Structures are given as structure tokens and as C-alpha cells.
Amino acid sequence: MITKIREQFNADFKEEYYENLKKEIVDTYGEGTAFRLSETPIFVSKDVKNQIFDACESIIAQLWDLNFDEIRSKFVHRDIQSPSKIGKPHFLGIDFGICEDGNGGVTPQLIELQAFPTLFFYQPFLGKAFLNNYPTIPREGFHYYFSGLDESTYLEEVRQVILGDEQPEHVILMELYPEKQKTRIDFWATKKALGIEVVCMTDIIKEGKKLFYLKEGLKTPIKRIYNRVIFDEISRTKDLNTAFNLHDEVDVEWVTHPDWFFMISKCVMPLLKHRNIPNSFYLDDFPEDINLDNYVLKPLFSFAGLGIDLHPTKEKIGAISDKQNYILQEKVKYAANIKTNSAKNSKAEIRILFIWDEKNERLKPVVNLGRMSKGELINVSHNTEETWIGSSIGFFED
């Protein structure tokens, strides 16, 4: 998105830089990423940055005007509501596609949002690793951190959100079969940064309302759970045997409360309005006269692109029994404007990652995540045979 920087990067690119980048990941965490890593960061212009953050501010302001009691009642079935105190969401991710604006330029368009943690420790590592291994990336005038943070202050603020006042041995990162997850590189990065254990949900011990895990063979109390378990994965896993469920009444602090996964998600998108937000409608309440060719069908609570239909029809919609769990979202046209050293240009998404700032009682942007693709879906699990696609990070112009 910054022609001069992109052309210089591409001209200076060497395959050894990319190989050294991947080697640093393996040397640091014992394995590479389970998803494809792009050869390049995404250079985000000042104009696009300003549009992104203007949209973010509007979205967050609108979120606090919503009635979350009503949203919880409508979208979180009573049988799976967690009785724990909800509090504020500790995390938020807002995804923007970098799209054509119709005038030869680009504009960010909201793709989805989620009050759920993601790669909060791998992404800062990736930004630094790019700088370590690509000597021609600009060292001044670009940042991947936000809110004036740097490596040390970022770590301290995210540490405070996750650990609170607890000792690391009483805080766990909980996932379902973590060693099999594609995002597991972030689990190892989290453990390295915070000193907390990565624990499979199936290994947790429940005694009354108390939870425990085995640390070096010793039964250790769990007081805070940094939850990385995706609810729909629980529902899709056959013969899952766990001692407790996310909606049990247990004596722990959740980071973040499980119900936020549902309450701030695609389910609120039809309620949000902004020039950078495509129109969307609940599938059980959409205008009869819309042209379905211009919309994509999305399940509300799927993950990693599962269940998305890029070509919905009245017949397909008519066959869906639980229409309340879907939305129709106006299609956007991703801009294939990232020039690459290959035959095709790449498209991009940028996710802005927020943490809850307790002192100022607000969601605060701290870092970002980028994804690149040459196909229809911007997803690191797709188009893996291409080059200059996959996981990345945005370097934002000051």
C-alpha cells in the first residue's frame, strides 16, 4: 500500500532472508508455524491506518451502546451461559479486509470482530523477527505496536491482563489438544513470555468448584484461566471427556469470560454502522429484495472460515433450519494490490488486537496481525501452495 516501500522491499528481497526468518522461529520455539508464513510484512500507509482506527473507534463506541443482556439472552443459550461474573472483555480483535474503493484506491472494510484472544505473543515476536532477518525493512517511521507501546511496555501490559495479581503457576493457558492446534506457536510463545503452563482441557482436575492441573507431577490449584478453547471445536469433537465445561460454576477467574466469545462476534455486525462496515443482516430477518449474488453467508460462531458460503442462494437458505445462527454480509472486493516477486499480487487482511485497559476503563489497541492470500478466502489454511501469502504482520506508517 506504500508503492515506494513495496518496490524497494521486493527489489532487495532475498530468499535467504525468508529462510532465516523461519529458522529463527524454529530456534526459538522448537518448531515452525503450522500455518504458512508469508515472505513479507504488510506496509500500511498513513491514510489506510487512519481509516482503520477511525472505524475501530466508531465500532467500540457503538459496542458500549448495545444491550449485552439482551444479546446474551438471544445468542448464548441458557444451558451454556457461564455463571461466573462477566466483567469487561479482556480482548478484542477487529478484522479489516483491504479492499478496492471503486476509485482506484483502497479502503479497509470490516470482515468480523471477536472478543477472544489470538496470537498476542507470537505477533510481536514475528515483527521483531522480520526486523532481525530483513536488513532492508525501514527501521524508522513504521511500527507494529500501537498506543505508544514498545517491546517491554507491551509485554508488561499484556502480562498484567493475563496474570493479574496471581503467580504464574496458578494461571494456565487452556486449549483443547494444544499440540494439534495450528496456532500452537503462540501457546509456546505465551509460555516463554509469562512462565505459565499450556494445559489441555481434558487434563484439568475438578474437585467441587476447584480446578487443578498437574505441574511436574504435583496437583496445583488453578486460579485464572487464559482461555483459548473455541466453543464450536468442543461441540465438533466426538467423545470428548472433560471433568468440567466452560459453563460450569467453578472458582476461577476467566481471561476472558467464555460468554464474550458469543456476545462480541459476528452476531453484532448487523447492529453496527459505518462507512467501513459492509451491510449485514440476520438470516431470519433480511430484506426480500437484496441480490444474494452480492452477499456471503456466514455462521455466527464458526472459526477459521468454517461454514462460509461465498455463493448463497434462496434454495440453500431455505434448507437452513437454524437461521438465527447465520448472517448475510455484503461482499467486498479485496484489492490485489500487494505486489510480489511472483506472477500474481496478494490480497490482505489486517486484524487490530486490543486489550482491556483497567486504569482507563477502555479497550486499547496494542499490536496487529496480518494475513495474505491470492485466493477467494483470506485464510492461512487456504492456498498453501502459493508464495507471498499466509501469516504476516502490518508495519504501520507513522
pLDDT digits (tens, 9 = 90+) for 289-312: 999 999 999 998 876 557 889 999
Q: What is the pLDDT of residue 305?
A: 59
**Which stretch of 99-113, 209-223, 299-313, 374-388 has the lowest confidence by average pLDDT?**
374-388
Residue with cell 476447584: 210
- Of 13, 18, 1, 5, nearest in space to 391 by CA: 18
What gap in Å lies between CA 160 and CA 151, rounded to an integer?
14
- According to DSSP, the residues that pair with 81 across neighbouring strands are none
What gap in Å lies between CA 144 and CA 160, rounded to an integer?
20
Q: What is the band of 382 on the pLDDT scale with cuts at 50, 70, 90?
A: low
Q: What does the mean pLDDT of the chain come to?
A: 94
Q: What is the band of 221 on the pLDDT scale with cuts at 50, 70, 90?
A: very high
pLDDT reading at 383 higher than 60: no
Question: Which one-letter amino acid corresponds to residue 383?
Answer: N
CB-CB contact of 107 with 51 (8 Å): yes
Q: What is the band of 375 on the pLDDT scale with cuts at 50, 70, 90?
A: confident
pLDDT reading at 386 higher than 70: yes
The mean pLDDT value for 15-33 works out to: 98
Query: 45 versus 238: which is more confidently predicted?
Result: 45
Q: What is the pLDDT of residue 238?
A: 84
Q: What is the pLDDT of residue 12?
A: 97
Residue-wise pLDDT for 259-273, tens only, equals: 999 999 999 999 999
Q: What is the band of 381 on the pLDDT scale with cuts at 50, 70, 90?
A: low
Q: What is the band of 379 on the pLDDT scale with cuts at 50, 70, 90?
A: low
Strand order in the sheet with 171-175: 197-200, 171-175, 224-227, 253-255
The mean pLDDT value for 227-231 works out to: 91
The mean pLDDT value for 150-159 works out to: 98
What gap in Å lies between CA 21 and CA 130, rounded to an integer?
7
Residue with cell 500474481: 344
Q: What are phi and psi of 260, to 5 degrees?
A: -65, -25
Q: What are phi and psi of 243, to 5 degrees?
A: -80, -20
The region, left, alpha or beta by phi > 0 then psi within -120 to 50, assigned to residue 128 is alpha
Q: What is the pLDDT of residue 307?
A: 80
CATH code: domain 166-255 is: 3.40.50
What gap in Å lies between CA 351 and CA 56, rounded to an integer?
11
- According to DSSP, the residues that pair with 107 across neighbouring strands are 99
Q: What is the pLDDT of residue 230?
A: 87
Share of the chain above pLDDT 90, in %: 88
- Of 183, 392, 172, 383, nearest in space to 303 by CA: 183
Q: How far apart are the first and last CA of the chain?
A: 14
What gap in Å lies between CA 149 and CA 147, rounded to an integer?
5
SS3 279: coil
The mean pLDDT value for 226-246 works out to: 89
Q: What is the pLDDT of residue 20?
A: 98
Residue positions counted in the chain: 398
Q: What is the pLDDT of residue 169?
A: 98
Name every residue whose Cβ is closer than 8 Å to that of residue 143 and which is 6 or more positions away in sequence: 395, 396, 398
Q: Based on the number of CB atoms within 10 Å of its own CB, is 88 exposed (0-12), middle (13-18) or buried (19 or more)?
A: middle
Q: What is the pLDDT of residue 232?
A: 79
Q: What is the pLDDT of residue 384?
A: 64
Q: What is the pLDDT of residue 380?
A: 55
- Of 39-43, 73-77, 378-382, which one has max mean pLDDT? 39-43
pLDDT reading at 105 higher than 60: yes
Residue with cell 438471544: 74
In the chain, ranges of CATH 3.40.50 domains: 166-255
Residue with cell 495479581: 165
Q: What is the pLDDT of residue 53?
A: 98
Q: What is the DSSP string of 4-22?
A: HHHHHHHHH--HHHHHHHH
